[in-house]
Structure formats: C-alpha cells, structure tokens
A and B are shown apart, each in its own frame.
Chain A
Amino acid sequence: MSLGDLQHMSMLAVARLGKEAYGAAIRDELMEVADRKVTVPTVYVTLVRLEEQGLVRSSEAAAAGARGGRPRRVFRLTPEGWKALEGARAAMSRMWEGVVGP
C-alpha cells in the first residue's frame, strides 16, 4: 500500500510516540520534528482514515491530567501499518541509491 506524505509522517509520529501517541501529541510531533504546519482537523482526518485502512488502531488510554481526568484515544501501528512503513522506507532507499548531490 502506498502512503501519502502526511499519512507517512503521521504513522512515523505514532511509532515514535509509542504509548503517548494521541491526537495533540502527534500534531506536536509533526510540527516540531517534521516541521510540518498541520491544523488540528487535518491530523484527526488523517488518523481516522489510517484507522479505516487498518494501518493504525486506537484505544482509550488511562485518564490523563490534561483532559480533566477523561480518557483519551491513543493510536498504535498495526502489523499492516508496520509493513506499509517498512515498504515506504525501502522504496525511498531504493530511490536514493545512485543519487548524487548537485
């Protein structure tokens, strides 16, 4: 399965954040690490669609102080998601082979 750029980045953010991969943290990761300016709705649309495609799965995590004690939805990669990420990395590596700088 080929991944869109934002999907790819979001999945990497999920992988990097591990048990802390909830919506706001993923957006922060995209903005701070990947330097991508993404809006809140864009992040959630991407996550909803990734979940529909079976690349990530979400579950309610234990209450967090930041949400007034209410549980939040934490995302994690599914085996298919890992496979898609590996595939994307391999394709990227192959494309970089033999590329020389200007």
Chain B
Amino acid sequence: MITYESILERAPKDADYLPLLEALYVRKRWITEPMLRSLDEPMLDEYLAEVASIWRVVKKMKNLPPEQAIEQLVGGLVFDSDSFLRLQIQFAKSGELKSKDFDAVNAAVYSSAEKMAHYLDGLLLTYIAWPNHYRLLRYYKEKYLAHGPYGHCLEIGPGHGWLALNQLLASPSNTLRGLDISPHSIAYTRGVLESAGIPAMVSGGGRYTLEIADCRKGLPSSTLPPGGKFDRVVIAEVIEHLDDPDTILESTVEHGHAETLYFITTTVNIEAIDHIYLFRSLQEVRDMMARCGLRIVDELDMPLQMKLKMEAEMFEVALVCKKK
C-alpha cells in the first residue's frame, strides 16, 4: 500500500514540490486519502512527474513565496472539496441539482473573481489530489493526445488551462483557440500557458489565442481557423454546465472534418456549484453524442466511490469521439 512516506521515498530529495506533497498528504489528508489508496508502486514516477509539472508552472504563474502559493492552491482544493461533498450529499437526498439557471451560475461563479480564483486553483490541483481526475488526465494523454490528426485545436471552456497546455505540448503542429465565458478562466489559462513558455499568437507567430466568448448559440465565426474546420476539439467539464449542450456540440461537429478528434468529458448524477444539466445515466450521455453527430471511439467510465444512500450510480465520463 502506498503511503505518504513511500511517495516521499520515491521523490528526489531536493524536489521543490515536497512542501506541496506535505500540504496535500499530511495537512489535507481528509481530501487526499482516496488518492493515496488509488496509487500503486508502478504509477509513482509518473504521478510525481505530474506533481512536478503542475508545481513548476503554477509556482511561476503565481510569483509568490512558495508557502503562499501552496496556501492558495490548497485553499482552493479545500473550497472545491468541501462544496462538492456538501452538494453531492444534498443531491443524494433530493435527486435534483441545486442550480438550474445558467445566468444565475454565471453571475455567482464565472463572473466572481474571488470564487473563480479558489475554484480554478482547486480544480487544477484535483489532477493530483482526486483519483478520478488524475485518471482522467492520464486517459487524456494516452487515448487522446497520443493520437492525431494534429493541427488546429479548439477548446471550449479551458478553465484552468491544464488540458490546453498539454494539448500544445503534445505536438509542435498544434495551435489552439480557447473560448471561455469567464474572463477569470481566460486569465488563468493565459497565466498557465505563459508560465509554461508557450507563445501567444501575434501577427504571424505564436501558438494560441484565448477569447472571452459565450458559445451557447454556437461558435463565433471570428474564432474559426483557415478553412473553417478544426482538427481537434476539447470540451471537458463543460456540457453539464449548460442548459442546452446539444447546440454547442452540434456547432463543433459542423466545424470539424471527417478525422477531427474530439475529447469530451461530463458527469452522471454528480453535483457541483455550477452543474445545471443532469445526466441520469451513461446511456443519456451516449445518446446525446449520437444525436449531435458524434461517434464514440473510446470511453472511460469512472464510478464515484462515495458511500451515499443513493440508488443511481455516479460517474465521471471521458469520451474520445469522431464525427459519424
């Protein structure tokens, strides 16, 4: 069984992320206990590489003394974990999402600088603190980023920017257009990409553009690449935040070609402060993809391991799709 001590033994003695590990696995053990249980010996090197990678970029982005940067990050993780658990416990009782109105969530969450700062710090850290999110990131790299075609990439809702950064690192051919309704998400993603040394597109060069955009009625024409078709599309942790996911999915299908590779994630019977669309089964997710013109070529279903008095199963789902 993996313990905090065994993680420390595997990490380089002079690694600058050791205080982050201490914060996660000693001070916030109530959050990271499931992560610890999910790790095994062969995974440790890859896991520590991810920790190092996130810490390297975020430390530079925050430009704070390390202990302050860790306090902010871990504070965000506590905010996300506490609010998620509370909402999920309520959901298990009611069977209904607390929020149903996009505009209300937009005003309360996406437009709030303070809330988004906590939220995005926490979400980024979940990739090394929540087992399903770490698994999702590995899946993204193995089943999506490792496969072409490479070229013009679109990401709707890049949020913390970590998937966007990995998309750009996956191939030098990749360029990215990121669209998000939250100015705070756009700023965070920009911070991550800049801190990782990826140049923004300016006249004739660079690799990404980021734009504040409401895509609920379709993609803005200003964001389309030459030829109007994207080679890669990422819509991760987005569709459950929309009242009409079909429209956005259909719009990306319209702007894809026969080989365009899609990466889409969502949740089934899972609540969060900004979830407004409830999938009650995995089949509902599959049906939505099919009716929007997408064919699932690979699927990862991750049950949520929570002891709740709830009959329906809870899943986080990741899909690799192509056009039908």
* A in complex with B: no
Q: Please give the residue numbers on chain B whose beta carbons come within 8 Å of chain A beta carbons, in ascending order.
A: none
Q: Please give the residue numbers on chain A whose beta carbons come within 8 Å of chain B beta carbons, in ascending order.
A: none
